[in-house]
């Protein structure tokens, strides 16, 4: 027994030595911006780059990062009319579950969590049309997440026109509702910019009209400041 245990301990030690690079306390990065801003594109590029550098990366999204979250996402995005308070609670419930199941364990291991959307989306979208006070949305979400905010939030700032053109060139036709919603998207954009202005240290605001590669380069130069060991 003890003889066979030795090689396996040695193998364990060597696999620990080769284990992924980690960040003390983990690194939580979120991507924000309107629909079609390029969040998933940049989040995927960042995750791929980090993995190539040897970091453990956990790629997740809000809503829908867990099985419970996927069910909540389906209810929110495809269900019948959802009362605004029920909607706010469902988004917060999804976040609470994703943090408990995915984000916190990953950060505890020293991984980098790269996530599409977070509380800022609730604040920006809520402020854009629904009459619930944003202070209440913030309190609800801070309760749900026990006040865990990302170290870095990349805001891909996009004009509603450009986002609509991107959706069109990706083959998605603008329907009547989307065209009517231009004013709504404008208010969402202003909401995101106001959040970024209030927390300049957490936010990196980029003009999403730039090329994919250019944006990626700017994100990497900011990320480097969190990885310097």
Ligand X SMILES: Nc1ncnc2c1ncn2[C@@H]1O[C@H](COP(=O)(O)OP(=O)(O)OP(=O)(O)O)[C@@H](O)[C@H]1O
Binding mask 50-79 for ligand X (x = CB under 6 A): ------------------------------
Report how many residues bind ligand X under the rule CB under 6 A. Answer: 14
Determine if 22 is a binding residue for Mg ion (CB under 5 A). no
| Integer Cα distance of 215 and 209 in angstroms | 9
| Residue among 59 and 141 whose Cβ is closer to Mg ion | 59
Determine if 17 is a binding residue for ligand X (CB under 6 A). no
| Residue among 26 and 33 whose Cβ is closer to Mg ion | 33
| Integer Cα distance of 180 and 81 in angstroms | 19
Q: CB under 5 to 8 A by kind: which of Mg ion, ligand X, none does 38 bind?
A: ligand X
Q: Which residue is nearest to Mg ion (CB)?
A: 40
Judged by CB under 6 A, the chain residues 153 through 182 that form the site for ligand X are 166, 170
Q: Which helix (H) or strand (E) holds 116?
A: strand 112-116
| Integer Cα distance of 216 and 187 in angstroms | 26
| Integer Cα distance of 69 and 154 in angstroms | 23
* Distance from chain centroid for Cα 144: 16
User: Following DSSP, what letter does each residue of 24-60 receive, concatenated?
Assistant: TT-EEEEEE-STTSSHHHHHHHHHHHHHHTTB-EEEE
Q: Which span sits near ligand X by CB under 6 A: 5-13, 35-43, 85-93, 141-149?
A: 35-43
Q: Which residue is nearest to ligand X (CB)?
A: 38
Among 20, 21, 41, 149, which residue interacts with ligand X (rule: CB under 6 A)? 41
| Integer Cα distance of 91 and 84 in angstroms | 11
Binding site for Mg ion (CB under 5 A): 39-40
Binding site for ligand X (CB under 6 A): 33, 35-41, 166, 170, 210-212, 215
């Amino acid at each position: 027994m003890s003889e066979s245990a030795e090689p396996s301990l040695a193998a364990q030690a060597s696999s620990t030595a080769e284990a992924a690079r980690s960040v003390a306390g983990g690194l939580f990065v979120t991507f924000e911006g309107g629909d079609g801003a390029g969040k998933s594109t940049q989040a995927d590029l960042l995750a791929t780059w980090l993995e190539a550098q040897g970091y453990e990366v956990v790629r997740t999204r809000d809503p829908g990062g867990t099985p419970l979250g996927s069910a909540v996402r389906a209810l929110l995005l495809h269900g019948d009319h959802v009362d605004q308070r029920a909607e706010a609670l469902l988004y917060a419930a999804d976040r609470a579950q994703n943090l408990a199941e995915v984000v916190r364990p990953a950060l505890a291991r020293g991984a980098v969590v790269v996530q599409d959307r977070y509380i800022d989306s609730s604040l920006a979208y809520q402020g854009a049309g629904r009459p619930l006070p944003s202070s209440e949305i913030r309190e609800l979400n801070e309760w749900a997440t026990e006040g865990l905010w990302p170290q870095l939030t990349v805001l891909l700032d996009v004009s509603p026109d450009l986002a609509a053109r991107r959706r069109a060139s990706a083959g998605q036709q603008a329907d009547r509702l989307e065209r009517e919603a231009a004013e709504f998207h404008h208010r969402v954009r202003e909401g995101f910019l106001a959040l970024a202005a209030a927390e300049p240290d957490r936010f990196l605001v980029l003009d999403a009209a730039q090329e994919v590669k250019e944006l990626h380069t700017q994100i990497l130069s900011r990320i480097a400041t969190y990885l310097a060991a």
